[in-house]
Chain A
Amino acid sequence: MTDKELSNGVTANAWSRLRQFTDARIGLGRAGISLPTRQLLEFQLAHAQAQDAVHLPLDVNALCQQLATLEGAAALTPIRLHSQAADRITYLQRPDLGRRLDDESAQRLNAPAPDAASAPRQACDLAIVVVDGLSSLAVQNNATAFIETLLEELSLDKDQSWRLGPLTLVEQGRVAIGDEIGERLNARAVLVLIGERPGLSSPDSLGLYLTWGPRLNLNDASRNCISNVRPGGLSYPDAARRLMYLLRESRRQKLSGVALKDRTDDNLIEHQGEARNFLIS
């Protein structure tokens, strides 16, 4: 178990094989106490790709086509919305604009639902809002599959049925835009699926934010968050089960946020069969 000091000045780390257990950049080795050239350039490449991902626009048409393939797709033809942030540069510097619908979008939600004879909208138990956020890739890669998993879980709820509001799809949006949408849709709870800020090893993490009684001017203490939803992070089934717990509890207690603790059994998210801490045993 020795490190090799190679003639090129790099000292490798004998524990680099631990990388099979984590995406973290462990066991990188060192040149003196600094990062070796290859590891330095790998980092620079990942950063370059993550920066590019921030600016990649959501392919809305492709996403709509994906959603249309889901079972019960009729209910899932999304209403397309846009925030008040006209473009990405504005979006990055003006989070306030990303939290509000532009006039046209607001009008679209104010109009009575196409199948309803008269306004106002009928109340729904849950409105699902898909938002590009800081990573359109996260939404593009994960939203459809996650919604499919979630719909199945909702249909299996023996205690109550879940009346869903129309699915909405928002460009240049922030988490809080779900408050306005939920309020306009007369939803008792809103679930925002949003692309999280891209990381170097995870440019496509989806975040889930649940808010009971959505209305304008709520703050983050009113929300529950489940993050890192993607195949390499929190899997769709695990995320959906965790979310179902929050949804059911939120509905039962009529609240969300700090007062609603996630008491999902913790072995839910254990790596199967590998819960042992090798540093101890």
Chain B
Amino acid sequence: MTGKYRHTLGNRTYQFANLADLMAKATPSRSGDRLAGVIAQSAEERVVAQMALADLPLKTFLNDLLIPYEKDEISRLIIDDHDAGAFAAIAHFTVGDFRNWLLSDSATTEMLQTVRAGLTPEMVAAVSKLMRNQDLILVAKKCRVVTAFRNTIGLPGRLSTRLQPNHPTDDVTGIAASILDGLLYGSGDAVIGINPATDNVAQSVKLMRLMDDVIRKYEIPTQSCVLTHVTNTLEAIEQGAPVDLVFQSIGGTEATNSSFGFDLKVLAEAEDAARSLKRGTVGNNVMYFETGQGSSLSANANHGLDQQTCEARAYAVARKFSPLLVNTVVGFIGPEYLFDGKEIARAGLEDHFCGKLLGLPMGCDICYTNHAEADQNDMDNLLTLLGVAGCNFIMGIPGSDDIMLNYQTTSFHDALYARRVLGLRAAPEFERWLSDMNIFRNLDDHQLSTEVPPAFARALKNLPAGSGQ
């Protein structure tokens, strides 16, 4: 197939080795693709690659697989689950046409839902490479993905938050203190989700019970999750633990997921097990996935693909299991994959767009590490952009500082900023609870109560001995 992927500019012809090479070179610059050795060699080569990509028929991605069907179960999943009927309406498009159509007035919310099952991750990744940030925001905003468990997430005009009360030793009082802080700042409608300090079934079960107790006592319309390995959660379910959501980090190649210690079969087993508990009240989406550009390269499992294409392929894994939440943890991986605030923001918008277009309930962990060239201002920018784009949920953590995972993400205050400045609200069931509990005195103006709500004032009197002040 030599010569299949090329583009002539003036009297110079640029040749691309294969489709993966073309996709990689068309990708906006980022450190992870440089690290992988797949990045465009010049700014001109990048745009030429984008021009070549724009001329490529969408059908190409169904015939020229980036990772062979025989070698990778994600490739098999993508091809086997492709819906030719849904694809028919856009089958004649090139990637460039596809961008025009997505931006056009004919691509309504309903229309985008109709073609969803006909789209593959590679088509979506390809078109995103041609799009400016405002395109990614505009089209994502048109996508609607609504999921439910004990509340409804992703409705228009809503922005939910994961309350993330992590503690470096999983200390019960420390975690409870962060949960209280979050609830009193209106956080936690997407999930109350703890990253345990150590991967241990007994510890995970303890944390599950802790959150279940709180949710039941205060009748909070939300769900809990311990972000431990899927096989640990399966064991916890067998032990009778109160599991709402099953968590797993996922990647876009079989080898990445193998490095994470699972395959599609295990996820299917976990979804069945969690659904069988029937703990949801308004819906039964039971999976919580996390992703992030760079994970495949980090596991030496990227097959020569650029990191954004690998990321989009992870969404094929996610959508197989009807998740409640998919969270791209965009700045966590470090500067070797996304160097600075600009690269993190671009990746966050790409991931949100690609996930939404494929039908996923996308949220974003808008975050950075202390060895990246990024700061709070970069996070403010991305938070505002994703709020405008209709992101389903973000993280909420006390003062932006995760004292267990050692990185910075959005705070309880940040979420209130986004809700207030963009007129967004919490999930409806949760919002009613915030009002009934007197946590907010005025929901329309996003005004918190100045008094500690009575139910929580009573709890504060239960503080462990030696806490008198």
Asked whether A and B interact, the reply is yes
In the A-B complex, the 6 residue pairs with the closest CB atoms: A25-B399, A199-B406, A258-B261, A22-B174, A26-B181, A33-B416
Stretch in B126-134, B200-208, B341-349, B425-433 with 4+ CB within 8 Å of A: B200-208
Please report which residues of chain A, range 258-281, place their CB below 8 angstroms from some CB of chain B when the two chains form the complex. 258-259, 261-266, 269-271, 273-281
Cα A276 to Cα B463 with chains together (Å): 9
Do residues A93 and B467 form an inter-chain contact, with CB atoms below 8 A?
A: no
Please report which residues of chain B, range 321-335, place their CB below 8 angstroms from some CB of chain A when the two chains form the complex. 334-335
What B residues does A191 contact at CB under 8 A? none
| Binary A-proximity of B231-260 (CB < 8 A = 1, otherwise 0) | 110000000000000000000000000111
Do residues A33 and B214 form an inter-chain contact, with CB atoms below 8 A?
A: no
| Binary B-proximity of A124-137 (CB < 8 A = 1, otherwise 0) | 00000000001000
Contact A24:B336 (CB < 8 A) given known A200-B408, A261-B201, A279-B214: no
Shortest CB-to-CB span from A169 to chain B, Å, is 21
Stretch in A49-57, A65-73, A152-160 with 4+ CB within 8 Å of B: A49-57
Please report which residues of chain B, range 157-194, place their CB below 8 angstroms from some CB of chain A when the two chains form the complex. 165-181, 184
Cα A201 to Cα B35 with chains together (Å): 30
A residues with a Cβ closer than 8 A to B are: 1-3, 5, 11, 13-15, 17-28, 30, 33-35, 39, 43-44, 46-47, 50-51, 53-54, 92-96, 134, 196-202, 205, 217, 219-221, 224-228, 232-234, 242, 257-259, 261-266, 269-271, 273-281
- B64 interface residue (CB < 8 Å to A): no
Return 18 A-B CB contacts under 8 Å, by A number. A2-B452, A15-B456, A22-B174, A24-B174, A24-B398, A33-B446, A92-B334, A93-B35, A94-B336, A196-B406, A199-B401, A199-B402, A201-B401, A205-B168, A205-B406, A221-B259, A234-B168, A271-B169
Contact A197:B167 (CB < 8 A) given known A1-B457, A24-B398, A270-B172: no
Shortest CB-to-CB span from A275 to chain B, Å, is 5
Do residues A271 and B229 form an inter-chain contact, with CB atoms below 8 A?
A: no
What A residues does B179 contact at CB under 8 A? 279
Count of interface residues, chain B, beta-carbon cutoff 8 Å: 86
B residues with a Cβ closer than 8 A to A are: 31, 34-35, 165-181, 184, 197-203, 205-206, 210, 213-214, 217-218, 229, 231-232, 258-261, 298-301, 334-336, 339, 369-371, 375-376, 397-408, 411, 413, 416-417, 420, 446, 448, 450-452, 456-457, 459-460, 462-464, 467, 469
Shortest CB-to-CB span from B16 to chain A, Å, is 24
Do residues B174 and A25 form an inter-chain contact, with CB atoms below 8 A?
A: no
Cα A28 to Cα B457 with chains together (Å): 17
A-B contact count (CB 8 A): 256
Do residues A134 and B168 form an inter-chain contact, with CB atoms below 8 A?
A: no
| B401 contact from A25, A226, A263, Cβ within 8 A | A25
Closest to A54 in B: B371
Shortest CB-to-CB span from B342 to chain A, Å, is 16
| A5 contact from B168, B175, B199, B450, Cβ within 8 A | B450
Do residues A266 and B403 form an inter-chain contact, with CB atoms below 8 A?
A: no
Do residues B401 and A24 form an inter-chain contact, with CB atoms below 8 A?
A: yes
Identify whether the interface residues of A are mostly helix, strand, loop, or mixed.
loop
Cα A219 to Cα B254 with chains together (Å): 14
Do residues B178 and A26 form an inter-chain contact, with CB atoms below 8 A?
A: yes
Do residues A26 and B401 form an inter-chain contact, with CB atoms below 8 A?
A: no
| A26 contact from B375, B376, B399, Cβ within 8 A | B399
Do residues A227 and B403 form an inter-chain contact, with CB atoms below 8 A?
A: no
Do residues B181 and A47 form an inter-chain contact, with CB atoms below 8 A?
A: no
Shortest CB-to-CB span from A219 to chain B, Å, is 4
Closest to A93 in B: B336
Do residues B448 and A33 form an inter-chain contact, with CB atoms below 8 A?
A: yes
| B451 contact from A1, A50, A281, Cβ within 8 A | A1
Do residues A24 and B198 form an inter-chain contact, with CB atoms below 8 A?
A: no
Shortest CB-to-CB span from A190 to chain B, Å, is 18
Do residues B370 and A261 form an inter-chain contact, with CB atoms below 8 A?
A: no
Cα A11 to Cα B300 with chains together (Å): 50
| B371 contact from A20, A92, A234, Cβ within 8 A | A92
Cα A271 to Cα B244 with chains together (Å): 26
Closest to B405 in A: A199
Shortest CB-to-CB span from B308 to chain A, Å, is 18
Cα A17 to Cα B467 with chains together (Å): 8
| B169 contact from A34, A198, A201, A228, Cβ within 8 A | A228
